[in-house]
Amino acid sequence: MSHSPNNPILLISSLHVDEARKAIANLVAQLLQESEALNHSSDIETVSLDQAINRILAEDLLSPIDVPAADNSAMDGYAFDAQCLDTINSEITLQITGTALAGKPYEGQIAKGACLKIMTGALMPHGCDTVIPQEFTTSITEQTICFKRDQLKPGENRRLRGEDLQQGKPAIAAGRLLRPSDLGLAASLGIAALRVRRKLKVAILSSGDELCAVGDRLSAGSIYDSNRYSLIGLLNRLNLDVIDCGIVRDDPAALKSAFIEAASQADVLISSGGVSVGEADFTKQIMQELGDIGFWKIAMRPGRPMAFGTLRAVPGKAPAKKTLFFGLPGNPVAVMVTFYQFVRSALLQLNGATQTTPPLVQAICATDIRKKPGRTEFQRAILGHDADGRPSVRLTGSQGAGILRSMSEANCFVILGHDQGNIAAGQWVDIALFDGLL
């Protein structure tokens, strides 16, 4: 992505959302290739399990053991040799000769025509290959059980050694954004530490003379800087290293200096404000001096003005590593929308994740929505259920780009595609949830 004919700057018109996503993904892939060519071994580190949540697994995690380590019972019931089913009798009676508990295996041999009371997870005793669940028996005494022969087949309710995982095979693939269940899986294999990608260093700053720091007294025409705190929260959720560069005034020299300093420290710089066409919006000019502009406008609402490209820490030179740059709009809602829709995926991809885009689901729209074709819209909404128990979604109210309350109240986006028009109540619409269970 440069000023050359092979990589033209995409500034002529507003890009479709899908085109913008593709452009970002392609540039990130290029940066990863450059980093790999430089053999940055420091990009991988080892961390303990309790520090691994939301980190990116750097290498396939190979299972050091078979899981399960031995055949065991999948049910509470009675273990026996399935050969006893080879009979013309419709009902089977077996003698109970002992008990096997999880962690306390039965050491004896089970005689023909006998069974063993067994608990879930207990090792299958020698001579047994089938378990009849307790609830399938027709009668139980202290000495015997009875059950119908057609209640089960040979080998049922037995978990085989290596059925879940085989020794030496991948348990978790590289590129995984580690979740609580992954940490539990690693612990179940006796693994205390994981090889993960180094946390990306992400610098953030807000630009604008109208901005006031939280805690200071507002002057006429000033507003509190909320964007940095939204971005800090979003980045902390991804467990990344945040470099807070504060507020930068609408001065080209000050802004350029802040960009250079941030680019020298960080893998990614995210600014908010200064990307529209106002007289005091200098980001475009500075990007042209310090790096390459990928695109400037996206056919979407909110968030149409969003700058994207790369920066160099030292102007006029070509350093080994470039800094990815996102110039987000100044409106608080547009900042969060563009982060969710573009920045989040790029950060995960740059950090080595294989799954970067959350899935879309569908819900029934509870009300009419007015929409003009020609842009993608991200409406803030609340997902619930209608009277029939079906997923139903309603908007939070006014969808202005400056109404941060709409993001605070919402739990999802209603995503209306580029070519879609008005939506009638009762139609199914695509939604993207803000939060997931794990």
Cβ-contact 100, 122 below 8 angstroms: yes
C-alpha–C-alpha distance, residues 50 and 184, integer Å: 10
The tens digit of pLDDT for each residue in 69-79 reads: 999 999 999 99
Q: Which domains does the chain have, with CATH numbers?
A: 17-45+199-350 (3.40.980.10), 61-66+163-196 (no CATH), 72-159 (2.170.190.11), 361-433 (2.40.340.10)
Whose tokens are 């750097």? That residue is 58
Q: At what angle do helices 283-290 and 252-265 cross, to 10 degrees?
A: 50
Mean pLDDT confidence for 126-146 = 94
Mean pLDDT confidence for 355-372 = 93
What is the model's pLDDT at position 40? 57
What is the model's pLDDT at position 221? 86
What is the model's pLDDT at position 351? 95
pLDDT band of 358, cuts 50, 70, 90: confident
Percentage of the chain lying above the pLDDT 90 cut: 73
pLDDT band of 39, cuts 50, 70, 90: low
What is the model's pLDDT at position 7? 42
Residue 278 pLDDT > 60: no
Report residue 39 as tokens. Answer: 């053999």
What is the model's pLDDT at position 281? 62
What is the model's pLDDT at position 5? 35
The tens digit of pLDDT for each residue in 173-215 reads: 999 999 999 999 999 999 999 999 999 999 999 998 899 999 9
What is the model's pLDDT at position 377? 96
What is the model's pLDDT at position 214? 92
C-alpha–C-alpha distance, residues 432 and 73, integer Å: 41
Q: Which residues lie across from 268 on neighbouring strands?
A: 202, 324
CA distance from start to end of the chain: 36
Report residue 156 as tokens. Answer: 């049922």
Task: Of 35-49, 105-119, 176-190, give the range with the top mean pLDDT.
Answer: 176-190
C-alpha–C-alpha distance, residues 231 and 213, integer Å: 15
C-alpha–C-alpha distance, residues 155 and 211, integer Å: 70
What is the model's pLDDT at position 8? 41
What is the model's pLDDT at position 277? 55
What is the model's pLDDT at position 438? 66
What is the model's pLDDT at position 295? 82
Mode of pairing for the β-strands spanning 211-212 and 223-224 = parallel
What is the model's pLDDT at position 21? 95
Dihedral sign from CA coordinates of 125, 128, 129, 135: negative
3-state SS of the chain is CCCCCCCCCECCCCECHHHHHHHHHHHHHHHHHHHHHCCCHHHEEEEEHHHCCCCEECCCEECCCCECCCCEECCCEEEECHHHHCCCCCEEEEEEEEEEECCECCCCCCCCCEEEEECCCCECCCCCCEEEEHHHEEEECCCEEEEEHHHCCCCCCEECCCCCECCCCEEECCCCECCHHHHHHHHHCCCCEEEEECCCEEEEEEECCCEECCCCCCCCCCEECCHHHHHHHHHHHCCCEEEEEEEECCCHHHHHHHHHHHHHHCCEEEEECCCCCCCCCCHHHHHHHHEEEEEEEECEECCCEEEEEEECCCCCCCCCCCEEEEEECCCHHHHHHHHHHHHHHHHHHHCCCCCCCCCCEEEEECCCECCCCCCEEEEEEEEEECCCCCEEEEECCCCCCCCCHHHHHCCEEEEECCCCCCECCCCEEEEEECCCCC
What is the model's pLDDT at position 168? 96
Mean pLDDT of the chain: 90
What is the model's pLDDT at position 11? 46
pLDDT band of 3, cuts 50, 70, 90: very low
C-alpha–C-alpha distance, residues 402 and 231, integer Å: 15
The tens digit of pLDDT for each residue in 315-351 reads: 555 555 789 999 999 999 999 999 999 999 999 999 9
Mean pLDDT confidence for 101-109 = 91
Residue 279 pLDDT > 70: no
Higher-confidence position of 437 and 222: 222
Please give the model's pTM, rounded to 2 decimal places: 0.86
Q: Which amino acid is at 426?
A: G
Q: Cα dist. 81→107, 160, 161, 392 in Å?
A: 16, 15, 18, 53
Residue 12 pLDDT > 70: no
Q: Which amino acid is at 188?
A: S
